[in-house]
Amino acid sequence: MTSTIEMKKLASKNIVSPKGFSAAGVHCGIKHKKKDLAILFSEVPASVAGVFTTNAVQAAPIKVTKEVVYNTGKMQAIIVNSGNANACTGKQGVADAYEMQGLAAEKLGIDAQLIGVASTGVIGEIMNMEPIKNGVAMLAPNAKLESGIDFSQAIMTTDKVMKSTTYATIIDGKEVLVSGTAKGSGMIEPNMATMLGFITTDANIESSELQKALSEITNLTFNAITVDGDTSTNDTVIVMANGLAGNATLTPAHPDWENFYTALRLVSEDLAKLIARDGEGATKLIEVEVEGAISDEEARKIAKTVVGSPLVKTAVFGCDANWGRIICAIGYSGATVDPEKITIKIGGATMVKNGEPTKFSEEELIEILKMHEVKIYVSLGVGGGHGFAWGCDLTYDYVQINASYRS
C-alpha cells in the first residue's frame, strides 16, 4: 500500500474529463422547456459496477441496466431521461426501456447489451416515445466540458443545482481521474436515495473489483443521506472504468489501490452531500457524526436516525437548540446506548455531557444554527464505532414543492 495518498480535487473538470469519455444533453420534449435527455459514452467498453434501489417496486430501466451490469459485465454507454420515471408502467414500460436501449445502440453503432438505461421523474405515466426518438437523433456526444454540463442539466428534476465533482490521483506514476455527476433532491432515503449517479474513471480495473469497492463505498456515502424518508423506484449509481489511463490492473493488492479507492469514495461522498444539501426546499446541510458506538454500523445507524428525524430537521430549520429531539432519536434508533454516557454537541457547543444537561448560550446556539452547514456530534461511550450521516432541514417549501409536483 502507498504510505501517502495522492489526491487533488479539480474544480474545472466534470463527467467527460477522464480519458475517452463524452456526453450530450438535449431538450426533446418530455419536459416543457428544460433539457430532458442525455447520453454518456466511452470510446471503448468499460468495466462497470452498479448499485440500485432496494424498493421492491423497481422501474423498468432498472431491469435493463441490471442485465448489462450483472450479465454483460461491461458498459459503453448509458442513456438517461428526466421528466418520466418509467416506473409502475407494466409491460409497456419494459418495452419502452428496451426501445431506448436499442435507439441508443443504433445511434452509437454499438451492441445494445453494452448500453444502460436510466429514468427519473413522475411515477406511473407511460413514456411518450416520440420525443425520445427525436431526442436520440439530436444527441451528439463529445468531450467538451460544456457537454458534460449539458448531461448534468438533462438528468435534473426538482434539483436546484447541478451536482458534479472530480478528483485526480496517481496510479503507477500516471494521472487517473475519477469524476461524477448526480441528480437528487426529494424522495431521498437510501438505501439509496431518489437519485441517479454516474461516475467515470480512466482507471484500469476489472468489474468484479470495481463492484466490491462501489458496494462498500455506497454504505458510507449514498446510503448515509436522507431528506424525507422515501425510497424511490429508480435509484441507480453506475461507475464506468475504461482503463485508458494505462495503469496496471487495480486490485486491493496493488500498491496504489488506496489512491483509487479514496478517489472513488471522495467522489461518492461529495455527490451524496450535494444531494443532501439540495433537498427539496432545504436551506441547510446537516451533518451528524457519531463516535463511541458498539460498531461502525451502529454509529451510522444512529447518525442516520438523528438526521432523518422530522423533529430534528424542523428544529434546525427554526434555529431551535432542542437537544431533547436529538437524544430521543438516539434512543429509538435501535442501537445499543447507555443514556448516562451520551454526550451531544451542536457546532462547538456542548448540550449534554455523560447524560447530564450542561449550561449553554442560547444566543451562541442560534448563531450556529443559522449557518448553512450545521454539525451535530454524538459520543456514546460504549465502544469504538464511528460513522457519519448527512441530511437537510425540513422547510415549508418542501411541502409546497411536493404538493404540486405533477402540476
Residues in Cβ contact with 271 at an 8 Å cutoff, skipping those fewer than 6 apart: 163, 165, 180, 181, 182, 197, 221, 222
- 3-state DSSP assignment of residue 105: helix
Determine whether 201 is an active site residue.
Answer: no
> In degrees rounded to 5, what are phi and psi of residue 27?
-95, 120
Please identify which of the residues 194, 231, 305, 343 carries the catalytic annotation: 194
CA gap 406, 375 in Å, rounded: 34
Instruction: Look at the chain and count its residues.
Output: 407
Residues in Cβ contact with 192 at an 8 Å cutoff, skipping those fewer than 6 apart: 51, 52, 53, 54, 218, 222, 223, 231, 232, 235, 237
- Using left for φ > 0, alpha for ψ between -120 and 50, and beta otherwise, residue 226 falls in beta
Residue 48, C-alpha cell as written in the block: 462497470
CA gap 269, 287 in Å, rounded: 12
Alpha helices of 44-163 — where are they, by DSSP H?
A: 60-67, 90-108, 129-138, 145-154
Angle between the 296-308 and 323-332 helix axes, to the nearest 10 degrees?
130
CA gap 184, 163 in Å, rounded: 9
Reference 215, options 49, 72, 56, 70; nearest CA is 49
Write out the catalytic residue numbers.
Answer: 194
